[in-house]
Every structure is written in structure tokens, then in C-alpha cells.
Amino acid sequence: MKLVLGVGGGIAAYKAAELARALGERGCAVQVVMTDAAQQFITPLTFAALTQRKVITSLFSGQTSEETLASAVEHISVAQENEMLVVAPATADLLARFAHGLAGDFLTTMYLAFTGPVVLAPAMNTNMWNHPATRENLRILAERGHHIIEPGDGPLACGTVGPGRLAEPAVIADRVVSLGVAAASRDLDGETVLVTAGPTQELLDPVRYISNRSSGKMGYALAEAAARRGARVILVSGPVSLQAPAGVEVVRVRSAKEMRAAVFEHLEQATIIIKSAAVADYHLENVPKQKGKKTAARLSLELSPTPDILAEVGRVKGDRLLIGFAAETGDLLAEARRKMQTKNCDMVVGNLVNQEGIGFESEENEVSLVLSTGETVKLPRARKTEIAGKIFDQLLKLRLSLHAAR
């Protein structure tokens, strides 16, 4: 894949060198474009050596008038020749300029002339990241369909601790490659995918609730993968702190009851339903209006079961493909098979949630897919975005074998 790597001016610019190398290792032809500020942090020579190509550093850069003229239209040819624009680190200033169409240098003019997929990997001070102006610019850019690779949490060069650290170069490179592959294949065109994600919260009083450790990352990765592959995606999301993926319709809910209502409202249109939400199994039927006081020495709660949304959908699903999740700490395959049968699913994605580094709250997962054809497919440990892609590959195969069996 031919891509442009735009490098913004931030401390993380040095990591862009590692990214250029990682992209090269994954078979990408990388054209680096640096902003003036980026050149204060790292020299073009580093990138030229890593990519074996001239690095673009300004809009008008020729020695002779002819060369200057050629460089003046170069942003258009670079935009036309490349399949993807990746910007890392995307500084607060670059995000603002992209969001508002300011085009005062090579990278920002090239951005306006570019029509392919755009991947932005922001890095900045935590307060700048949290500032309403940056949030608003990110919202505009996400709505425009750009892919935002969230910065990580941790100690920053400026001394603060929090979100703002550029995502790891290998993570950005893997994401870029999988986006490139997906952009080339739109095999979910015409499908409407309904995904549920995250935990539910069941109120105990106006301020307290029962919930679980689901982060919603797996469901959001599935929604994003489906949208990239051409599907219309409706994401019914419990309370999570994730940004809505580009091009996905998000319905926010809190409780199992609200999730059920949202699912049934959109069920008719759906051709594929993926229930990755970790729905709370019990709730308090009559939630008191007042906050409970610490008066009793012991407290017991009487809870009633929440509606089993997956089982209910299973009873009325018709031709739709229905995928359930089984979060287990014991016999994974037996439980996944049991859930597939009792809830009438076409596939159950089983994952262990008591292992370090995978499952709840993790970036990675390792799952086993139990299919209604009797097959079991083990997907080795990988990032949730990658697992999401493989789940859709298997689903499309499954649909073909179900049709053939009819």
C-alpha cells in the first residue's frame, strides 16, 4: 500500500520514525511529509534514510523557478498517488487545522486534496487532549469518517500523567494495514449490523448501581470493522468511555431494559445481530427514589433477573445471523455450545475473562468461535480490532454454508 505519513511537531515526533520503519516492514511504501514544527524535533534525514525517499518539508521548495512550480502542485499529485494518509503525531494544532480546513502548509493542503481514508494518531499534553476545543475538533474529524487511534495513558514528557501519549508505533502500523486491507474489500455492503457493546448498569438507588468490568472495546471494534467493510451499523452501547467509531449510528443506553428496547426497535432492519454486551443478569425491580442510608448492620438485596435479550432475539430472529458472546471462567467450549443451543445463535464467541491481558478491559483477546455447523474455530491472541475482522470473515463463510445446507 502507498501511503503518506504526516509528521506533526511534538515530542512524539521521534516515535514517527519508528512508525515509518514499522510501516515499511509491513510492506507499505511510505512518503513522509513533515510540518515546520516537526523539523524542530527530528530531522528529515532520519525519515529519508528509513524510507529511502525524499521527505517533503514545505509547499514551495525548489531551487529554480521550474522546481518551485513543480513543488507548488506536488500536494495534488501526492494526494492522488497515495491510498491512505496517516498522521502521527497529530498535534492539537494539526487536528484544529484539519477540522476547519486551514491549509497553510504542505500537509494541510494535501489533506484537503486527499479523498482516501485518513488515520489520525494524536499525541499531546493531557489538558490539551481534554480541552473542549480539541474534543470538538476530534468529533468533527470522526464524523467526517476519519479513524482516530486514541493516545495511551501514562506519564508524559511535560510531567503530567494521563491520556496524551502517542499510541505505540506497532499498534498504529497494524491498524493502518488492517484498514488498508478492509478499504479494499467491502464485503458487508448492503448488510445492516446491529451490535450491542459494553456493560449495563442496574440502579440500586439514584446514585448506586450494579455493573461489570466490560469496557466495550470488543463491541466497538466489531462495529468499526463492519462499517469499514461497507455495512450500515447500529451500535447499542452501554456506558463506556470510548469514542463512537466513524460512520456508526450509536444508541446509548444504561440498563438491560433500555438495551432490550433499543435492540427490538432496530431488530427489523438488521441482517446481522451481534450481542457482545455484558448485560447484567439481575436488577432491582423497584428502585428507591432516595439515596439509601448506612443504617443497617448488614444489607441484603433481593434482585430479579433482567430480560435475556439474546434468548428473546433468538426466538424471533428468522433468517438473521445471530451472534452471542460467552464470557467464561470455566469450561469455555461447553458453555459456549450450551449458550448457542439454548439461545438459538448461529455463532457464539467464547472468551475467558479470568486471564491476564485478554478479555475484559484489555486491548487484546483470544477467543473460540463455536458455530451452528458444529465447527469450532480458535482465534489466537490478537488485538480486538484484528479479532473483529476475523469474526466477520467467519460469519460470511458461515452464511454461505447455511445457505448451501438449505
Give catalytic status of residue 158 as yes or no.
Answer: yes
Q: Rule CB under 6 A: is residue 217 a binding residue for ligand CTP?
A: no
DSSP label at 292?
A: P
Q: How far is Cα 173 from Cα 388, in angstroms, rounded to an integer?
A: 17
DSSP label at 122?
A: E
**Least distance to ligand CTP from the beta carbon of 270, Å?**
14
Q: Rule CB under 6 A: is residue 325 a binding residue for ligand CTP?
A: yes
Question: Segment 259-298, which members bind ligand CTP (CB under 6 A)?
Answer: 275, 277, 279, 281
Nearer to ligand CTP, 136 or 331 (CB): 331
468499526: which residue's cell? 224
Give the dihedral sign, CA 150/152/153/158. negative
Nearer to ligand CTP, 174 or 312 (CB): 312
| Catalytic annotation, pick one of 70, 73, 157, 158 | 158
Question: Segment 333-352, which members bind ligand CTP (CB under 6 A)?
Answer: 339
Tell me the window of 58-66, 146-154, 304-312, 357-365 that interacts with ligand CTP (CB under 6 A): 304-312
**Of 205, 308, 363, 364, which one interacts with ligand CTP (CB under 6 A)?**
308
Tell me the window of 27-35, 39-47, 174-182, 302-310 that interacts with ligand CTP (CB under 6 A): 302-310
**Least distance to ligand CTP from the beta carbon of 81, Å?**
45
How far does the chain reach from its first CA to its final CA, in angstroms? 40
Q: How far is Cα 354 from Cα 360, in angstroms, rounded to an integer?
A: 9
Nearer to ligand CTP, 124 or 195 (CB): 195
Contact 203/209 with Cβ under 8 angstroms?
yes
Q: Rule CB under 6 A: is residue 310 a binding residue for ligand CTP?
A: yes
Nearer to ligand CTP, 53 or 257 (CB): 257
- The 10 Å Cβ neighbour count of residue 269 is 10
Paired residues of 371 in beta bridges: 347
CA angle 13, 14, 20 (to 5 degrees): 90
**Of 19, 85, 149, 327, which one interacts with ligand CTP (CB under 6 A)?**
327
Question: Which phi and psi (to 5°) does residue 16 adopt?
Answer: -65, -25
Q: Rule CB under 6 A: is residue 326 a binding residue for ligand CTP?
A: yes
Closest C-alpha among 276, 256, 280 to residue 367 = 276
**Least distance to ligand CTP from the beta carbon of 307, Å?**
6
Whole-number Cα distances in Å, 20 to 2, 47, 173, 176, 361: 12, 7, 9, 12, 29
Catalog residues that contact ligand CTP under the rule CB under 6 A: 256, 275, 277, 279, 281, 306-310, 324-327, 339
Q: Which residues are catalytic?
A: 158
